Structure 1
Amino acid sequence: MAVSWTEVLGFATGAVCVWLVARQHIANWPVGIANNVFFIVLFTQAGLYADAGLQIVFIALAGYGWWTWTHGGGPGTANVLPVRRTSRAEWLWLAAAGAVGTGALTLLLERATDSTVPFWDALTTALSLMATYGQCRKRVESWCLWITADLVYIPLYAYKGLHLTALLYVGFLGLCVLGLRGWLRDLRPAGLPRGVEASA
């Protein structure tokens, strides 16, 4: 299958975006929005309708993430949002939302589209939304969710003939591992100022 310019541009902006996220650089958000636009077109053409719709949600979440990263996650604060761990309560509602979302999207894709991979399209959509929430809030475990999603995306895109995009997600997988390591280094107890090490 021939590689389109849309796929090439999606590849380039996607790689830059993940690299910027791993470095906690604020420019990841506008670059990510450009990536989402390219992928809306690409995934619609490939019949990956949930993934195409997911890009619209990603654009909205990018605005939220951009704001939280620059305002510390709350009104009236100018501090950079610190890296934190996902709380037990967050995990519970994320897991519930992910399970419900996967089931509902699978049914919708089966009944309303010609998708040949409804469950896998729905599952990766749910995982990506869970990971994006964590990324917006700088939850370190968001990288684990992205790694899980990428391990499904790679064979899914190869199956759909999007070989360059599958290769991109192999790169994403490596960047996610690096991002996880970097954010773990930056992880610190709540309230501990940046640059101050916790006592042994």
Structure 2
Amino acid sequence: MTFHEVAAATLSASAVWLTTRRSPWCFPVGLLSVSVYIWVYFGARLYSEVLLQCIWVAMLVTGWLRWLRHLDGTGHVRVAALAPRLAAIHLLAGIGGGLALGYAMHRWTNASLPWLDAMLTALSLVGQLWQNRRHVAAWWMWIAVDVVYIGMFVNKHLFVTALLYAGFVALAVKGLRDWRQAARREAAQA
């Protein structure tokens, strides 16, 4: 456990909590978090996670801009539906991307968990895409991915981060519940 890991975990938890509240402030806090996590993951040789954090920067900026265009009267983002066909396409692309990245990390790096790390990275990108587009389904993805991440981080002795991801699971359950309620309220008002 390092100061950087604790700082990154604290910032990440704050960003996810803000996301459950549908607050656009989740994005600048998230940007701070991923900046610190780049160093943490590089030190742990989780190179797919380093790559993911770099991609998060772009995804967080685009998500922030998208959310700012879809705020309700209270400053919270409005929830949007995800078509099942589009969900299936995104999932297949994520799995394919995870396999390709896993192969690359296995073949050309000394990554310690290339296949698992790569698949979690790819599916996390799908989850963030859904979050950027304001889909309730993002929370289901975060629950599934974060449960597996806990085991990976325990294996890598990143215990603070494993604890953080346990908290993420709890926050994702809260986010799922809150966003589903918001979607029902928005549908009733339409």
- 1:119: how far off? 1.1
Question: Which residue identity lines up with residue 4 of structure 2 in the other structure?
Answer: T
> Could you tell me how far 1:189 is from its partner in structure 2?
8.7
My pick for the range that moved more, 17-26 or 82-91, is: 82-91
Report whether the alignment pairs 1:31 with 2:36. Answer: no
What TM-score do the two structures reach when normalised by structure 1? Answer: 0.88
1:19 to 17, 20, 32: 17
Where does structure 2 lack aligned partners over 5 or more consecutive residues?
none
Percent sequence identity is 34
| Aligned mate of 2:123, from 124, 127, 130 | 127
Aligned length: 187
Runs of 4+ in structure 1 displaced over 3 angstroms?
Answer: none
Which runs of 5 or more residues in structure 1 are unaligned?
Answer: 74-78
- Name the residue aligned to 2:44: 46
Q: Which structure dedicates a bigger proportion of its chain to helix?
A: 2
2:121 alignment partner, SS class: helix
How far 1:127 sits from its partner (Å)? 1.3
**Cα distance between partner residues in 2 of 1:156 and 1:52:** 15
Amino acid in the other structure paired with 2:148: V
Whether 1:67 and 2:93 are equivalent positions in the alignment is no
CA contact (8 A) 1:83 1:188 kept: no
Q: TM-score, normalised by structure 2?
A: 0.93
Give the corresponding residue for 2:149.
153
1:80 positional shift: 6.6
Change (3 A) 1:125 1:84: same
Contact 1:124 1:149 in 2 (8 A): yes
The alignment status of 1:88 with 2:88, answered yes or no, reads no
Q: CA deviation at 1:112?
A: 1.1
Whether the aligned pair in 2 keeps the contact of 1:70 and 1:80 (CA below 8 Å) is: no
> For 1:185 and 1:55, how far apart are their aligned partners in 2?
30
1:154-177 C-alpha deviation (Å, 9 max, x unpaired) = 010010010010000001110000
